[in-house]
């Protein structure tokens, strides 16, 4: 069963990488989402409409984000250390990436799960919970971050898929945990 999953994973990763064009424009596009996917910059740009035009409780959103990012980073760190899967750049035939800046953009730590994708889907779920009108924008951004990790050969398909599922689970748990803490604090005061 494990052998079957690894073969499907390798095949799907190759399929995605062979389907996507590899040139300077695509390298820069994917690098933008991949290298800045963890930073608040890309998410700040995506969330500007919500921040500017919605009159909601931004303190609660900030708490959701802080709890979810803390949990995501912790879970990803533990799982990466436990599984320690090598990255595609190490184990697969490489597709030439045109832009020399992009050639060394992958970390050397374990590949499974994709931390960028886990955090991207965690943030997408939290933002979508607070701003349902633009959830398509948040999930599209998360999807592009995950796809960029495959394009740049930093992750296999199942690393990214697992990161997305893990991110959604952590996002949901973070919202529930934050709401629970806030309601307990409110009861005391």
**Structural domain spans, the chain:** 2-188
Cα–Cα distance list, 93 to 17, 54, 87 (Å): 11, 48, 12
Copy the structure tokens of residue 161: 């898929």
What does pTM read for this prediction? 0.83
Query: pLDDT tens track of the chain, all 189 residues?
Result: 778 888 888 888 888 888 887 778 877 777 777 765 445 567 667 777 666 666 566 678 888 888 998 999 999 999 999 988 888 876 655 555 544 445 546 777 888 998 889 999 999 999 899 888 888 989 999 999 999 888 888 888 999 999 999 999 999 999 999 988 888 877 776
Instruction: State whether residue 110 is helix, strand or coil.
Output: coil
* 151 Cβ contact list (under 8 Å, min separation 6): 16, 17, 20, 22, 26, 30, 34
- Tokens of residue 86, six digits: 């090598």
pLDDT, tens digit, for every residue of 55-87?
Answer: 566 678 888 888 998 999 999 999 999 988 888
Distance in angstroms (rounded) separating the CA atoms of residues 124 and 109:
24
How far apart are the C-alpha atoms of 119 and 109, rounded to whole Å? 16
């Amino acid at each position: 069963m494990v052998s079957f999953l690894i073969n499907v994973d390798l095949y799907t990763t190759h399929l995605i990488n062979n389907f996507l064009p590899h040139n300077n424009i695509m390298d820069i596009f994917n690098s933008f989402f991949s290298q800045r996917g963890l930073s608040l910059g890309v998410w700040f740009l995506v969330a500007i409409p919500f921040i500017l035009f919605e009159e909601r409780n931004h303190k609660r959103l900030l708490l959701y984000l802080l709890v979810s990012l803390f949990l995501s980073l912790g879970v990803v760190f533990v799982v990466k250390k436990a599984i320690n899967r090598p990255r595609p750049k190490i184990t697969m035939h490489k597709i030439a990436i045109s832009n020399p800046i992009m050639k060394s953009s992958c970390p050397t730590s374990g590949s499974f799960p994709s931390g960028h994708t886990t955090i991207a889907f965690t943030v997408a779920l939290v933002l979508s919970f607070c701003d349902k009108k633009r959830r398509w924008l948040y999930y599209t951004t998360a999807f592009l971050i995950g796809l960029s990790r495959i394009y740049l050969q930093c992750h296999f398909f199942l690393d990214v898929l697992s990161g997305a599922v893990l991110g959604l689970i952590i996002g949901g748990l973070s919202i529930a945990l934050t709401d629970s803490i806030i309601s307990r604090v409110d009861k005391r005061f």
